[in-house]
């Protein structure tokens, strides 16, 4: 049985006297330094060669840095998600968490993948509005969503919706091709 190779850890004495551990091939570590006692918020950059740089965010650029960070955080939520409808759901879920002050809530890898089809299937099955189904799905794990997608009551609807999605994405008019059979 193959084992995962352990990553090497190098302890580096920084120029300011701290000792910092660099794992694997990592060459740079970044730390947030929230502003305290009137100081501006800053970012500390520790390099594997022992050098350290600290960048204090000027008041005149604070809003721009905040906007960049928000755009990055929201964009990161869609990483690895191929379906645009799933991307929208993922961003909606992140916005809801951020509005509650939840910054670091862990998201399962591609936890929204396939959610848009599941959401539409549940709307069809239940007759409830999209917002009610979104609320129902909130907090469900990827395993629970997958189980719902594969449940005997929903699977036929999910399969039909996925087939329609594939058909719409194709540049070939399959209906015209099939009409040649008759």
Task: Give the H/E segment covering residue 22.
Answer: strand 19-23
Q: Is the model more confident about 138 or about 13?
A: 13
**Using CA atoms, how far apart are residues 123 and 15, in angstroms rounded to an integer?**
60
First-residue to last-residue Cα distance in the chain: 57
Question: Mind listing the pLDDT tens digit for each residue in 94-151?
Answer: 898 899 898 876 554 445 556 788 888 888 999 998 888 888 887 788 788 889 988 9
Distance, CA of 4 to CA of 156 (rounded, Å): 41
Read off the pLDDT of residues 31-60 as tens digits, 9 standing for 90 and up.
Answer: 999 877 788 899 999 999 999 999 999 999
Buried-exposed string 125-155: b where 16+ CB fall within 10 A, e elsewhere: beeeeeeebbeebeeeebeebeebbeeeebe
Q: Hey, CA dihedral for 148, 165, 90, 42, is it positive or negative? A: positive
Kindly indicate the confidence band of residue 29, based on its pLDDT and cuts at 50, 70 and 90: very high
Nearest residue to 136 via CA among 119, 152, 149, 153: 119
Kindly report whether the global pTM for this prediction surpasses the value 0.75: no
């Amino acid at each position: 049985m193959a084992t995962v190779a352990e990553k090497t850890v190098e302890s580096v004495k920084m120029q300011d006297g701290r000792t910092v551990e660099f794992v694997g091939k990592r060459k740079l570590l970044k730390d947030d330094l929230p502003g305290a006692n009137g100081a501006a918020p800053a970012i500390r950059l520790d390099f594997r060669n022992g050098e350290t740089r600290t960048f204090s965010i000027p008041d005149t650029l604070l809003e721009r840095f905040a906007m960049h960070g928000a755009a990055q955080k929201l964009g990161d939520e869609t990483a690895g998600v191929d379906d645009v409808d799933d991307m929208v759901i993922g961003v909606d879920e992140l916005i809801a968490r951020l509005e509650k002050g939840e910054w670091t809530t862990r998201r399962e890898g591609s936890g929204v993948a396939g959610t848009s089809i599941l959401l539409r299937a549940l709307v069809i099955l239940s007759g409830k509005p999209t917002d009610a189904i979104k609320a129902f799905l909130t907090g469900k794990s990827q395993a629970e969503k997958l189980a719902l997608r594969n449940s005997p009551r929903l699977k036929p609807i999910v399969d039909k919706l996925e087939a329609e999605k594939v058909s719409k994405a194709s540049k070939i008019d399959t209906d015209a091709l099939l009409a040649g059979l008759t």
